[in-house]
């Protein structure tokens, strides 16, 4: 198949604008277990994303007001592990920090579930200035129970359930060197009530390079001259 100069330029720009995984966490490593080894305290993190183009400097953490919070890695939603914690108070949160430099049309998707006594109502907020100012992305969203009576299913490391997945646009997060999103609890849970998160993905469209845009403009000029 042969392409003209204009067609090649269009393909170059279209290719650069395709959706990409910017950063993602699938929780690939089990947390420490056994007496005296299980992580506890006001915060615990899984470190940088394990997938995506911009994982350097990224982080996924859980933050609690209670030092009694315990962090475990039960089965994920179709993945081996999830990030789980208990002792949830109002205002406690999961936090993902990442960069979107070179990308626009940013979206966020994640899986989240709770135990029968874990917090069921959260909000999603975002900062692009290091946490000095926050904007509300979702004022309130419900977290479904995993397992138990009335639950739509139990999280399994081998079977993905789309009912636990939420996807939303992150308007204002385009081409930013630092983005922070917080999944913040609006209610408290029982001390043993848990909430878990998994498959946190940030996607975006790669911004065409100046060279590709210039190539497209030149191709259009050549096309007009030929006509």
CATH code where residue 108 lies: 2.60.120.260
| 224: in domain | no
- Number of structural domains (the chain) is 1
| 8: in domain | no
| 213: in domain | no
Give the per-residue pLDDT at 18: 57
Q: Tens digits of per-residue pLDDT, 23-48?
A: 999 999 999 999 999 999 999 999 99
Helix (H) or strand (E) holding 223: helix 210-226
Range of the domain at 170: 18-207
Neighbouring residues of 123: CB distance < 8 A, sequence distance ≥ 6: 136, 138, 139, 140, 141, 183, 184, 186
| 154: in domain | yes
The answer to whether 177 and 61 have CB atoms below 8 angstroms apart is no
Give the per-residue pLDDT at 216: 46
* Cα(184)–Cα(199) distance, integer angstroms: 17
- Inter-axis angle of helices 210-226 and 5-16, nearest 10: 150
Q: Which residue has the higher pLDDT, 210 or 51?
A: 51
Mean predicted confidence (pLDDT) in 63-72? 98
Which value, to the nearest 10 degrees, does the dihedral of the CA atoms of residues 103, 23, 108, 165 take? Answer: 150
Give the per-residue pLDDT at 208: 85
Structure tokens at 86: 């208990």
Give the per-residue pLDDT at 210: 63
Residues of the chain with pLDDT > 70: what percent? 84
| 157: in domain | yes
| 141: in domain | yes
| 81: in domain | yes
| 226: in domain | no
| pTM score | 0.86
Position of tokens 């909000």?
123
């Amino acid at each position: 198949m042969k392409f003209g100069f204009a067609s090649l330029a269009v393909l170059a720009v279209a290719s650069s604008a395709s959706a990409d995984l910017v950063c993602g966490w699938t929780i690939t490593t089990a947390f420490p277990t056994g007496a005296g080894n299980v992580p506890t305290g006001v915060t615990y993190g899984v470190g940088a994303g394990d997938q995506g183009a911009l994982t350097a400097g990224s982080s996924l953490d859980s933050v609690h007001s209670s030092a009694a919070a315990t962090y475990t890695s039960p089965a994920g939603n179709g993945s081996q592990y999830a990030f789980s914690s208990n002792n949830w108070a109002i205002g406690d949160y999961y936090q993902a920090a990442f960069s979107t430099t070179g990308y626009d049309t940013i979206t966020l998707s994640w899986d989240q579930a709770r135990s029968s006594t874990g917090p069921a109502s959260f909000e999603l907020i975002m900062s692009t200035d290091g946490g000095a100012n926050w904007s509300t992305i979702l004022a309130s969203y419900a977290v479904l129970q995993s397992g138990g009576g009335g639950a739509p299913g139990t999280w399994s490391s081998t079977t993905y359930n789309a009912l636990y997945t939420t996807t939303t646009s992150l308007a204002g997060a385009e081409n930013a060197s630092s983005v922070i999103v917080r999944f913040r609890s609006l209610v408290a849970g029982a001390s043993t009530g848990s909430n878990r998160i998994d498959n946190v993905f940030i996607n975006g469209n790669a911004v065409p390079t100046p060279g590709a845009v210039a190539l497209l403009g030149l191709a259009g000029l050549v096309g007009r001259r030929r006509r």
